[in-house]
Each structure stands twice: as C-alpha cells, then as structure tokens.
C-alpha cells in the first residue's frame, strides 16, 4: 500500500536502546524490564505495573489472578477486538455480550445491570479506540453487585476519565503495545493495578508460577511463559520518554482528518472531545451514515485499496465470529448497526499533510459514487 493503515514511530533513540541491550548480554528479566514497568506505573498513576508478552496475556492473567473460574460470567462488549473474549475462554469463563453507547462505542451502563446473573463475577470495560468508558457508572454497578471491574485499556494509554488516567482506576487494567498502538514494544503489554498482592501474583503467573522468593526451578502454581524480554522493554522505555509528544501528534492528526471531512452527510466522524474524557487517539474510525448497507462500506474500502490506500473495518462484532455464535448476549442493535458501517483510515505519527489530503479526497470521491442510504 502507498499509504499504510498504521506504522510504528521508531527513532534512533529506540534503535540505540535495543542495541545496547544486545551488547549487554542480559536479554530477559533485567533492568530494562524494571525501568519499563516503573515508567508505565508512574505515568498511569498505578502502584504496580507488571510487563507481559501481550495485552491478551495481560487480560488472561487479570482474570486468572482475580480468581475467576470455569462457569463464571463476565460482561463485556461485542464491539471490540476478539482478545477480550478469548482471554475469558482460556479460563472457561462465559462471555456475556451487551450493547454499546453510540457516542463512545463503549459499554452502555444502562444495558449492563440487566445482564447480571448470579454467575456474573466481573465487568470487562474496553476503552474502545482510546475513548474512556463510563467508569463511574460501571464502578457503581460493580460495587452494588460485588463484581470485579477490569479495564481493557489496550487501546488507551494516556486517556483520562474525570481527570485520571485510565488503566489504573479498577481492580486491574491492561495496556498493549503492538506496533499499531500509541507506543510500541513490538509485542508486549502491561497489567497495572493498585493491589500489590494482585501484582505479585501476576508476576509469578507470567513466569511459570515462580514466586519471587522461590529458587529458579521451584514453581508455586501453574503458570505461563508470558515474560517480556529486555529488548522489548528497552524499546518501551525509549518510547515512554516521548509519550506526550506522540499523543499530541496523534491528536493533531485526528483534528486534521476532521477538518478535511467535516460537513460530509454520508459520514459520521468520531467526536474530537467528550465530557469528562481525554481521548488517546489509537485509530481514526469513521462510519457511513445510517441506512447504508455493509456492501457500501466494503465498496469504499476496496476503492481506497485500489488507489493504494489501506483501510479496514473496525470492529467486526465478536458475536458474529464463528467461535462465538452461541455465546450469551443481550440484543445488540447498536453494535450490529455500527459494526457494519465502520471504516478505519490510515493513522500513524508520520503521516504527512499530502497523504491526509489524498486519503480525504479519495474517500470523498468514493462517497460521491455511492447510492443513497437504503438503496
């Protein structure tokens, strides 16, 4: 593709940091891991941060360390990346899908309470596309029903709700650093928490169940190989040193798209700001106006691709995935309507003004050739 959908922001500082680790001879469980954990904990205002091999691993260890077990239910949105539900099935926990709010694309608190049953143990709130979920309402529901609240902040490093950083406002929060995220460790994630005993258990679980006091070949419980290497951690340390400028650049790009696409009746643009929230821009996702068929969306994506511009549908609802067709769910009309009309446009730090112009002009041209809604 002439203009990719995403691209990591890597400078000489990151390359030098990784090179220094290679020369050090210490490639795992070393000082860079500790430095990265410290940087994320400080930034997210969490007491503890535990680095792991991916955001998916972090979600898995969150439900494991909180004591959720086979037969329990967890409420979550279907409009999100499939890893959120997969992490539950790893522990034979039943996902229960509820609908989203049309403005934030996050869990609709008014739909959550009616989905609670005697088997419900937790709410998994996803900060979709870097937009904070309604944590005050969800926390209130969780407290009334004695449920855990887990934040899937994999797309939301730096986002804020009521002036506080997301990812450290619930029982556990998970960040992810895949190459398309705000910062990257190539592969990797962090579990953040204010609970020191929970953090200690996650540290053990990520390293084959070893406790910190045990010798190398003594394992306190069944664990996993979810370690993050020193190479990945060093990359993360260097990226965290630029986090503020990275987030500012991404916000500027979102505003640039809005300026170019504003006033187009065929599109619904993502909000640039929302009450009580600071958005951390992960992607820039527009959606076709209501009434357009999924085929219209697919035609736009194909038209962009034909001109060398990458685009994607974000997200295909999880309950439409073959493995989840029998999953428990409430009616999901907003999820299904929005999921059929979304288009993720190229969004990365180094995108140029001329590339933004080309994407916007091509998109507007393609929209002009679409039949009207309902046709």
Q: Distance between CA atoms of 65 and 80, rounded to whole angstroms?
A: 23
- Report residue 55 as tokens: 């955001």
Indicate left, alpha or beta for 7 from its phi (over 0: left) and psi (-120 to 50: alpha): beta
**C-alpha closest to that of 82 among 183, 134, 154:** 154
Q: Distance between CA atoms of 206 and 180, rounded to whole angstroms?
A: 24
**C-alpha closest to that of 152 among 57, 71, 234:** 57
Tell me how many helices (H) and strands (E) the chain has.
12, 14
Cross-sheet strand order for the sheet of 160-161: 164-165, 160-161, 277-278
State the number of CA atoms in the 13 A half-sphere of 226 facing the CB: 26
The secondary structure of 8-68, three-state, reads: CCCCHHHHHHHHHHHHHCCCECCHHHHHHHHHHHHHHCCCEEEEECCHHHHHHHHHHHCCC
Which residues are annotated as catalytic?
181
Q: Report H helices in the chain.
A: 12-24, 31-44, 55-65, 83-89, 109-112, 135-144, 196-206, 230-240, 243-261, 294-306, 333-339, 353-368
CA-only gyration radius of the chain, Å: 21
Q: Cβ contacts of residue 161 below 8 Å, gap of 6+?
A: 132, 133, 135, 136, 169, 276, 277
**C-alpha closest to that of 284 among 131, 160, 116:** 131
């Amino acid at each position: 593709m002439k203009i990719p959908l995403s691209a990591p922001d890597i400078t000489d500082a990151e390359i030098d940091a990784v090179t220094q680790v290679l020369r050090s001879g210490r490639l795992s469980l070393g000082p860079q891991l500790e430095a990265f954990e410290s940087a994320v904990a400080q930034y997210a205002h969490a007491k503890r941060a535990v680095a792991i091999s991916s955001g998916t691993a972090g979600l898995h260890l969150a439900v494991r360390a909180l004591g959720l077990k086979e037969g329990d239910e967890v409420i979550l949105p279907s409009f999100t990346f499939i890893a959120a539900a997969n992490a539950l099935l790893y522990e034979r926990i039943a996902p229960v899908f509820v609908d989203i709010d049309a403005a934030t694309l996050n869990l609709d608190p008014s739909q959550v309470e009616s989905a609670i049953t005697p088997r419900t143990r937790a709410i998994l709130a996803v900060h979709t596309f870097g937009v904070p979920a309604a944590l005050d309402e969800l926390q209130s529901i969780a407290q009334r029903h004695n449920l855990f609240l887990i934040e899937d902040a994999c797309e939301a490093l730096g986002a804020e709700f009521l002036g506080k950083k997301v990812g450290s406002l619930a029982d556990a929060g998970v960040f992810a650093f895949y190459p398309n995220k705000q910062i990257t460790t190539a592969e990797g994630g962090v579990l953040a928490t204010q609970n020191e005993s929970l953090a200690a258990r996650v540290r053990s679980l990520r390293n084959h169940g070893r406790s910190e006091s045990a010798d190398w070949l003594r394992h306190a419980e069944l664990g996993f190989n979810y370690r993050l290497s020193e190479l990945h951690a060093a990359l993360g340390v260097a990226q965290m040193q630029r986090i503020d400028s990275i987030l500012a650049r991404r916000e500027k790009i979102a505003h640039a798209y809005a300026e170019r696409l504003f006033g187009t009746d065929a599109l619904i643009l993502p909000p640039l700001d929302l009450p009580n929230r600071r958005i951390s821009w992960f992607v820039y996702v527009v959606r076709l106006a209501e009434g357009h068929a999924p085929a219209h969306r697919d035609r736009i994506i194909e038209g962009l691709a034909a001109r060398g511009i990458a685009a994607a549908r974000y997200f295909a609802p999880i309950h439409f995935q073959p493995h989840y067709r029998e999953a428990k769910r409430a009616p999901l009309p907003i999820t299904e309507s929005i999921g059929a009309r979304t288009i993720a446009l190229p969004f990365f730090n180094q995108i140029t003004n001329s590339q933004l112009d080309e994407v916007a002009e091509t998109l507007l041209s393609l929209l002009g050739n679409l039949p009207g809604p309902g046709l």
